[in-house]
Amino acid sequence: MKALVYHGPGTRAWEEKPKPAIQDSKDVIIRMKKTTICGTDLHIMKGDVPEVVDGLILGHEGIGIIEEAGPGVYGFKAGDKVLISCITSCGSCESCRRGMYSHCENGGGWILGHMINGTQAEYVRIPHANTSLYHVPSGVDEEAIVMLSDILPTGFECGVINGQIEPGDIVAIIGAGPIGLATLLTAQFYSPGEIIMVDTDENRLKIAKTFGATRLVYKNAAEEIMKLTKGKGVDVAIEAVGIPATFDICQSIIAAGGHIANIGVHGQSVDLHLEKLWARNITITTRLVDTVSTPMLLKTVTSGKLQPEKLITHHFKLNEIMKAYDTFENAAQEKALKVILEN
């Protein structure tokens, strides 16, 4: 089969790899129908995730058709169309019982395209299939469903839930890329009073406005937001980029009693300004998505209340994935958000 293979920072190739086979009774083999590229994949390509080894197939999102199921798989069978969760969970260990699937103790967590071969391929093996897949409802936009693999639950759980957004809150989302926009969409479940979007890409800010942002900040973010809030700062600051500068903005604009929710994948250290924050009752949270919200989000998308397909800007065939990466890596010039790759 063909797959997108990582060969160290800055090096990737579309090449032949062995088709996966069942290794455990709870495995399934899936023929991929649609997948996408995540910002985390770009962090891997930059060398920010050093545990990813040379020769690994990238990708942790998508939908496909089950071709083969191990004897321990129940609820799924060959021919079923399924959503692949970016987080693999055994469902029975202590962490999974706590709903912390990202820290599954039985070979789960974020493993696809990270510790084992991922979804940017013609076929993929999914371990712990019973608790790591979802049936795709008939009649629902498949491309919208792909957004449920990672981006929507990540924005919702790591940003909105951890940020403890409440009705009337002033919220700032730092970064209007796909994950920031997914956070924007799901933040509106809680009716915040203001949602301020911050980015240096004016096109993305225009899109954010159509998605429900109430204010846009293009430059001098900390200064502008403090002016907008009359010096008080925001109730919730959500970091959705993963670089020191954007985390610094969050620290500079948070109001007393506020929440800083980090989503971004950080490849280098940031300065924590406790000399300014220690007495201000600030909560700082980090999280790897657990996908506990996926069933709820799936119902919301199926009902049409949430339309994540709006995040998709580009379409490619799977064998055009090298071009798709070029497009996604140059998002500002290409005006790219999420891309769909179809097998």
pLDDT one-digit tens code per residue, 16-25: 999 999 999 9
Express each pLDDT in 170-204 by its tens digit.
999 999 999 999 999 999 999 999 999 999 999 99
Band (pLDDT 50/70/90 cuts) for residue 137 is very high
Band (pLDDT 50/70/90 cuts) for residue 241 is very high
Phi-psi region of 47 (alpha: psi -120 to 50; beta: other; left: phi over 0): left
CA dihedral 325, 329, 334, 339 (to 10 degrees): 50
Q: What per-residue confidence (pLDDT) applies to 134?
A: 98
Q: Is the dihedral of CA 190, 149, 172, 184 positive or negative?
A: negative
Band (pLDDT 50/70/90 cuts) for residue 124 is very high
Express each pLDDT in 275-317 by its tens digit.
999 999 999 999 999 999 999 999 999 999 999 999 999 999 9
Tell me whether residue 323 is exposed, middle or buried, using C-beta atoms within 10 angstroms of its C-beta: 0 to 12, 13 to 18, 19 or more.
middle
Q: What per-residue confidence (pLDDT) applies to 110?
A: 97
Express each pLDDT in 257-271 by its tens digit.
999 999 999 989 999
Q: What per-residue confidence (pLDDT) applies to 184?
A: 98
Q: What per-residue confidence (pLDDT) applies to 261?
A: 98
* 3 state DSSP class of 84: strand
Take residue 207 and report the two structure tokens written for it: 């899109």
Q: Which amino acid is at 113?
A: G
In Å, how far are 101, 139, 142, 288, 313 from 87, measured between CA atoms?
7, 25, 19, 9, 25
Take residue 317 and report the two structure tokens written for it: 């065939």
* 3 state DSSP class of 46: coil
Query: Among residues of the chain, what percentage have pLDDT more than 70?
Result: 100
Mean pLDDT of all residues in 235-263: 98
Band (pLDDT 50/70/90 cuts) for residue 41 is very high
Cβ contact 239:261 at 8 Å = yes
Q: What per-residue confidence (pLDDT) applies to 192?
A: 98
Smallest Cα–Cα separation from 142: which of 83, 88, 182? 83
pTM: 0.95
Cβ contact 106:131 at 8 Å = no
* 3 state DSSP class of 252: helix
Q: What per-residue confidence (pLDDT) applies to 219?
A: 92
Tell me 321's DSSP state.
H
Give the strand pairing for 62-69 and 28-35.
antiparallel
Alpha helices in the chain (DSSP H): 39-45, 94-97, 142-146, 151-154, 162-163, 178-187, 202-211, 221-228, 244-253, 274-277, 294-302, 321-329, 331-334
Take residue 217 and report the two structure tokens written for it: 């900040």
Report the C-alpha gap between 283 and 199 in whole angstroms: 23
Q: What per-residue confidence (pLDDT) applies to 301?
A: 96
Q: What domains appear along the chain, each with residue ranges and CATH number?
A: 2-150+290-342 (3.90.180.10), 154-285 (3.40.50.720)
Q: What per-residue confidence (pLDDT) applies to 118?
A: 98
Phi, psi of 203 (to 5 degrees): -65, -45
In Å, how far are 68, 152, 180, 254 from 173, measured between CA atoms?
42, 15, 6, 12
Mean pLDDT of all residues in 78-105: 98
Report the C-alpha gap between 96 and 246 in whole angstroms: 32
